[in-house]
Chain A
Amino acid sequence: MIFLIIKRILLGFITLFIVSIITFVGTEVLPGDACTTYLERQAFGEQLEACYRRLGLNVPAYERYVSWALNAIQGDFGYSLSGEMPIKDVLGPRIKNSLVLASAAIFIGIPIALILGIITALWRDKLPDVAISTVTIFAMTIPEFISATLLILIIAIWLEWLPGIVIVPTDVSFLELLPNIILPVVAIAMIMTAHMARMVRSSVIQVMASEYVQMAILKGVPYWKMVFKHVLPNALLPAINVVALTIAWLLGGVVVTEVVFNYPGLGRLVIESISNRDLPTVQALAIILASIYVSINLLADLLTLMLNPRLKTLQIRK
C-alpha cells in the first residue's frame, strides 16, 4: 500500500517534469521572445542586448531551464514581464480567488448533484425523474457563456439584485468579495451539477439493477436500508474520480465564466498572460495547473483504493 502511494507520487512528479519541459520548449520555439515582444519596434541593437542580459536570455536554453526549474521548486517563478513584479505575487491572490470560487461551487454543487442524481435514479421514469432530468439536460446543454450572460441580464440588469461583473481589486477580503461571486458561482454550479447528477443517476440505476440488490430485496431488507447499505456505497465509488476531475477543472480556472464576469481568477490570468506574451507567467501557470490536476487525481485514486475493498486486496496481494 505504502509502496503504491510512493509509486504514484513519483509518477506525479515525472508528469510534472515532462509538463515543464514541454511548456519550456513550447515557449522557446515560438517565433520572437519576451524581449522582442516587450521592446516592440525598439527591439534591436544595444537595447535588445540589455534586455537579454537583464532577463538572463543570453545563456543557452538548457541552462535557463535548470535555473528556472530550481527556482520554481522553491516557489520563485521569476518576474512577470507586463507588471514587472514577481510572478508569485501575481499568482497568490489569483489562486486565492479561484479557490474561493471553486470551493463555493463545490460546496453547493456536489451535494445538490448527489441528491438529484439519487432521487432521479430511485424514482426512475416517474414524475420526479422526468422533471429533474429535463432540467438537468437543459442545464447541461446551454453553454456557460449563454447562461452566464442570461444571469447577468436577468439578475443584475433587470432585477438589479447583484453586481453583474466583478469590479473589485484582486486582493479584497472575502466578505467584500462575497456578493460579487454569487452569480459566477451559480453559472458554474449549474452546468457542473447537471453533469454530475446525470452521472450519479446512471451509476445508481446500474447498481439498482444488479443481482446483489435483487438479493437484498429478496432477503427482506427494508427499502431505505437497502439503498444506504447496498446501493449507495457501490454506486458512488465511480463518482469519486468524476468529482475529482470537476474539482481540478474548477481550480484550474473556468476561463469563460471568469472572462464574462470579469472575475480575477486563474483562468483570466491565463488569457491575459497569453495575449500579453508574458511567457514566464504562462510557464508558471502551466506548471501550477498541472500540479493541481496531478495532485487531485492522485488523491481521488487513493480515496477509491481506500473505499473499495476489492482494489485494496488486489494491491496488497501484488
Chain B
Amino acid sequence: MTDIIQKVKNLSIGFRSKKGEEILILKNISTNIKKGETVGIVGESGSGKSTLALAMMGYVKHGLYTIGGECQFNSSNLLRMKSKDLEKIRGRKIAMIPQNAGQALTPNLKIGYQIDEALQLHSDLDEKEREKKISELLNKVRLPSPETIALRYPHELSGGQQQRVAVAMALAGTPDLLLLDEPTTGLDVTTQAHVLELLNFIAKDTGTSMVYVSHDLGAIAQVSDRIIVMYSGEIVLEGPSRDILKRPIHPYTHGLLKSIPKLSLAGLPESMPGSQPQPGTIQSGCSFFDRCNFSDENCKNNSPKLEFLKNLNTSVRCFNYEKLVNESQASQTFNKIKNKSQDKEILNLSEVSISYAKQKLLDQIFNRISDDNPTVKDININIKKGETIALVGESGSGKSTILKSIAGLLRTKDGLIRFDENRNLSSDLKERDPNDLRIIQLIFQNPDESLNPNHTVEEIIAQPLKLYFGLKGEELKKNIIDLLQKVRLGEFYTSRYPRQLSGGEKQRVAVARAFAAKPDIILCDEVTSALDVSVQAAVLNLLQQLKEDFGTTYIFVSHDLAVVRAISDRVAVLYQGRLCEVGPSNDVYKFPSHPYTEVLLGAVLEPDPDIKPKLVAEDIVEERPPEKGCSFQGRCSRIVGDICKKEIPPWQLTDSGNAIRCHIPIKELQKEQF
C-alpha cells in the first residue's frame, strides 16, 4: 500500500444552481495514483477532468465546493487542510504544469524570479546556489542560454518556451507528483511532440508520478501507463493504456477512438451523435445513454456501477461492455471521400505577396506597400471548382493570412487573385461589389466569437439572405428553415440565442450562415479546432455532405494534419509564408518529400502507443522569414550547402503531380522515404 501516492476517495464536487439545487461536476470519483506511474485522464470539455486534477492539489475553484469525499496525500486529506499546510505541499510535493503557460506566468515578473520564488519557498538553498539551480533547471528543460532567458519577461518567449519554463518551475520543488493540465494544447504539432518527449524523459529521469489531463488521446497515448476516461463527471473506463486504446470496452471510448481522424487512413471518420449532457440534466440512467449504440431499456432507467474486471485489469461503467470485449478497434470504417473537383479553375493565386508592414506616410500617399521581405510571398495556387484544398503549417506560416486576403480582409502587396479566370479579387473589401463578397464566405474557428450573442439563430442566418437576395417574410423564413435542416438542426432552433447552443450546434449555425449566401468558395479557418473530438467528426461529415450537395469549393486551414488528411483533396504546405509543397493529399501523406512536410507529419501524435512521433528538426521559432534562399533553411536537417542559404529553391514536379520546392533533386528526396 505504501506505493500509493495520491488516493482519491468518493470525491464529489459541485456547485449550487440559482434555484438552490446541488449540481455535481464530479460524481463519486475514486482512484489511486501510484509512485512513478503516469496516469492519463481523458475527457471532453466539461467532463470534470481539470476539476479532478485541481482537487488533487487541494484546490477547488471559486464557486465550486466539495460535497463529499477526500483527496489523500500521505494519508492527510488535502481538501480539509489549512492553507498554511497546503502551501508546504503545493509546489514542493505536488506541482502543477498549467494548460496555457502564456497566461499562467505572471506578466510583470521575470522568468528567473518566478523560478527563484519556487526555490525560495521549497528549498533551503542560499542565493548563489539558487542562481545555479535556476540555470540547471532551464538547461534541463532544454532552453537555450539559460542566463539570458532568466532575465526575460514571459511575453518575450514563444509558446513552447513558456511551456518549458512552466515545466522548470514545477520541477524546482522536486515534487513527488506532477499534475499536467493540457500541457501541450495550443502548441504547434512539432513543439507539442518535443514537449511530450521532454516530459517522458523527466518522468523516467526523476521517477516522478504524473497525472496527465488532456482531451487529446494522441498525446495521452504517448505518455501514460494507465488511462482514466471521464464522461459527465464520472469515471467510465479505467485501465492500462494499451488495452484502453487498442480494445476500448466502453461505448464512449469506443466511439471516441473511432471519431478521431488518422494520418494513415484517408476519408472521414465515423461521427458520434449528440454531445455531452450539461451538468445537472441527467436525472436517472446512464449519462451516455442517448449517444450510445449499445444501449437498452436497462440503461435508460438504471445507472451502471463502475465494475472491475479482473481478467482485463480494467474498470468499466457499462451494462453492455461484453458486446464490445470481442470487437477489436480495427473495425474502424472510414467513409472514403471522392475527389469531385472539375477541371474548371475557380480561383487562381499568382505571385501573391502579403505584408503586415506598417505603411510609411509616403507609401500611404502613393497607395503602395513597400516591404522587401513580406510575411507571405510568391504564392501560386490554382484552385479547381469543387475541390477541397488545405493549407497547412505551424503558427506563423501565413495560412490564415492567405485566407484573409482571399476574403478581402487584407490587401495583397503584389500578385493577382483571380476568380473564375477573369474577375480580379486582388482588391480589398471596400472595392469589391456585393456579388464579389457573396461568392466567398468565411467560417471562423470559434463560433462563440463569430456569432453575435444578441441575435437569435434566425436573425443570424437571415442576414446574408436579406443582404444578397433581398428575401422577406414567408420566403425568408422558409429559406432559413431549409438551411437549418441542411445542417441537421430543427426548426425550433430559430428562436434560440447562441449561448443556448452547444459548441457543435453553434458551428452548425455558422456553417448555415456561410451557405446562406450560396457561395462558390467557402474559406474554413480552423473550423473544428474549438470543438470536442466527438463533435469534430460530425461537423467534418456535415461539411463534406454539403459540399457534395452544392458543389462548393473549400479552402481549408488547419493545424491538425489528421483532420486535413480526412477532408482534403489537395494539400499546400507552407513555411514562413512560402510554399514548400503542393500536391494531392494521398501523395503528400504517403510520401512526404519536402523536408518540412516530413518534420510536420513526423510530429503528429496518434492515439496508438505503438506509433511514436519522429522528431526530425529542432522546434526553434523563427520570427521572420529569411531574407535570401530557402524559407526552411533555419530548421532543415538536410541542407545541401550554401545554395540553400543563397538561392530560392526551384519547383520540382514528381510523377504523381506533387510540386516540391527544394534544392535536393526529387529522386533523392523520394528515395530516402520509407
A contact set with B: CB distance below 8 Å: 209-223, 229-230, 233-234, 237, 307-310, 313
Contact = CB atoms under 8 A, between A and B. Distances in A.
Contacts of A233: 108
B96 A215 contact: yes
Interface in B448-475: none
A211 B156 contact: no
B117 A219 contact: yes
Closest 5 CB pairs of A and B: A220-B91, A220-B90, A211-B103, A215-B104, A219-B91
Nearest to B58: A218
A221 B120 CA distance: 10
Contact of B155 (A214, A215, A221, A313): A313
A215 B153 contact: no
Contact of A220 (B86, B99, B155): B86
Nearest to A208: B62
Nearest to B103: A211
27 contacts: A211-B104, A212-B106, A214-B59, A215-B105, A215-B166, A218-B54, A218-B90, A218-B96, A219-B91, A219-B95, A219-B121, A220-B86, A220-B88, A220-B90, A220-B122, A220-B173, A221-B87, A221-B121, A222-B121, A234-B106, A308-B108, A310-B107, A310-B153, A310-B155, A313-B153, A313-B155, A313-B156
A216 B92 contact: no
Given A218-B90, A220-B89, 20 more contacts: A211-B103, A214-B98, A215-B96, A215-B104, A215-B106, A218-B54, A218-B95, A218-B96, A219-B117, A219-B118, A220-B86, A220-B87, A220-B92, A220-B122, A233-B108, A234-B108, A310-B107, A310-B153, A313-B153, A313-B155
Contact of A309 (B86, B107, B166, B173): B107
B312 interface: no
B166 to A, nearest CB: 8
A219 B94 CA distance: 9
Contacts of B90: 217-220
A125 B109 CA distance: 29
B545 interface: no
**Chain B contact patch, size range:** 20 to 34
Contacts of B91: 218-221
Nearest to A232: B108
A221 B169 CA distance: 13
Given A230-B109, A234-B108, A218 B121 contact: no
Nearest to B92: A220
Contacts of A222: 87, 121
Contacts of A215: 96, 98, 104-106, 166
B83 interface: yes
Interface in B122-172: 122, 153, 155-156, 166, 169
A212 B117 contact: no
Nearest to B84: A222
Contacts of A217: 59, 90
Contacts of B105: 212, 215
Nearest to A125: B62
B256 to A, nearest CB: 27
Contacts of B26: none
A229 B153 contact: no
Contacts of A218: 54, 57, 59, 90-91, 95-96
B100 to A, nearest CB: 6
Interface in B339-353: none
A229 B89 CA distance: 20
Contacts of A234: 106-108
